[in-house]
Amino acid sequence: MVNKPLVSIVSAGLSQFGRLDGMYCRELFADAAKEAYDRCPNLNPARDIEALFVGHMGESYEHQGHTGPTIADWAGLLPKPAVRIESACASSGAALRAGIFAILSGMHKVVMVGGVEKMTHRTTAEVTEFLAMASDMPFEQWNGITFPGLYALMATAHMHEYGTTEEQMARVAVKNHHNGTLNPKAHMQKEITLEKALASKVVAWPLKIYDCSLITDGASCLILTHPDLARKFTDTPVHVIGSGQASDAIGLYERKELTSLKAARLAGQDAYRMAGIKPDNVDVAEVHDCFTIAEIIAYEDLGFCDVGKGGKLMEDGVTELDGRLPVNPSGGLKSKGHPVGATGTAQAYEIYLQLTAQAEKRQVDGAEVGLSHNVGGSGATACVHIYRRD
């Protein structure tokens, strides 16, 4: 399977990300779907799209379950089969894989995959509680450990073991906020300074408010087809050439390492092997920066640098937009926002734009190979996908 495209992305859509009062999941997804339809005039959605896989983490936010058909209805895809895929913050990374399976099985020729979450209408306390459901209930939640708390435990361990600093973490936030100012769909299009990030309110020491991603409303989607059919729909397909997913213990405490996500390493290794490439072949990456330490750990897990050198890689500017390996040109979860179920395919959307030279002010020149890294919870799920332009 090395180097052979698994499936082709023939179109993609993204809603505005932000606080979108009065817009709920169904309307947010319709917004993303409309963009994907408009980008692909050769596609007749009602006729051509044969199934929908939609990533969505929580029915608690809207008191609305049975998300698959609800979203299919608003996207104009009834009566096509539609299911919700839930893997916490990796829900739509997993939905993308479900779409790949559907195409590769031969069961479907064209499918839509995507994700959606509506979060901002709830109080921060409620959102904190809903998100915490993706952690271990009997030992983590029961002992008052929050999601920022879990990543803070990783950060403390990383600082202790490798000398990573709060300043290196804050630099991730400064970089991603800068990139977000170049993305008109980002939630927070605002520069921040290192001083401001370091002086911001502590959420779970050593993580401060600017180390945390945003509570955001948003939706994202992709239209996938078999590589042999891609040219029927577009002249500029982007191929998915590697896909990896792995699982780990739900409880961080059960894992041998606190400074690395084993599931992400394994998912990355599978994706690289399938794609037949090495980490230094990647031109642009979107990684799961739910907290700044998570981006530093992602650099190491994906082989962008040696173990323990993630903070240094950030400090050296390698992952800045004008660096050798730009990471999170979209602004990442940190400034584009993190509507949890939408994040995986929102990362793929950004890679699609980058590899088709449509990323405008944040375009990485000449990008040919892209990677997305989507993590669920504190690392019990990880999905890595590798893409190349046609």
Partner 1 sequence: MLEAQEPLPVCTFTGETRKMSETAPFTVSSFYRFVSEKRLMAAKCNECGTEILPPKPMCTNCFSTNLKWIELDGAGKLLSYTIIYVAPEQFQSMAPYTVGIVELQNGLRLPGMIRGVNPEDIKIGMKLKIGFETSTSLQWPAWTRYFFKPA
Name which position in 73, 129, 167, 270 contacts partner 1 (CB under 8 A): 129
Cα distances (Å, whole numbers) of residue 349 to 32, 69, 356: 10, 23, 11
d(CA 150, CA 89) in angstroms, rounded, equals 14
Quick check: helix, strand or coil at residue 224? strand
- Nearest CA to 240 out of 84, 344, 363, 87 is that of 344
Nearer Cβ to partner 1 (36/204): 204
Q: Is 45 in the site for partner 1 (CB under 8 A)?
A: no
Which amino acid is it at 69? P
Catalytic one of 25, 89, 221, 290: 89
Q: Dihedral sign for Cα 346, 352, 358, 364, please.
A: positive
- For partner 1, the closer of residues 107 and 209 by Cβ is 209
* Residue 283: DSSP 8-state: S
Binding mask 186-205 for partner 1 (x = CB under 8 A): ---------------xxxxx
Based on the shown chain and the rule CB under 8 A, indicate whether residue 297 belongs to the binding site for partner 1: no
Give how far the C-alpha of residue 28 lies from the chain's centroid of Cα atoms, to the nearest Å: 17
Report if residue 261 touches partner 1, rule: CB under 8 A: no
Decide if 338 is catalytic: yes
Q: Is 89 in the site for partner 1 (CB under 8 A)?
A: no
**β strands within 306-379, DSSP E:** 369-376
* 87-95, 145-153, 273-281, 335-343 -> range binding partner 1 (CB under 8 A): 145-153
Nearer to partner 1, 59 or 129 (CB): 129
Min dist CB 145 to partner 1, Å, is 5
Determine whether 305 is an active site residue: no
Q: In this structure, what DSSP letter does residue 107 have?
A: S
State how far the Cα of 82 lies from the Cα of 68, in Å rounded to an integer.
5
Q: How far is the CB of 215 from partner 1 (least distance, A)?
A: 12
Distance of CA 289 to the CA centre of its chain: 9
- The single residue among 143, 193, 316, 361 that binds partner 1, judged by CB under 8 A, is 143
Q: Which residues bind partner 1 (CB under 8 A)?
A: 124-125, 128-129, 132, 138-146, 148-149, 152-157, 160, 201-207, 251-254, 258
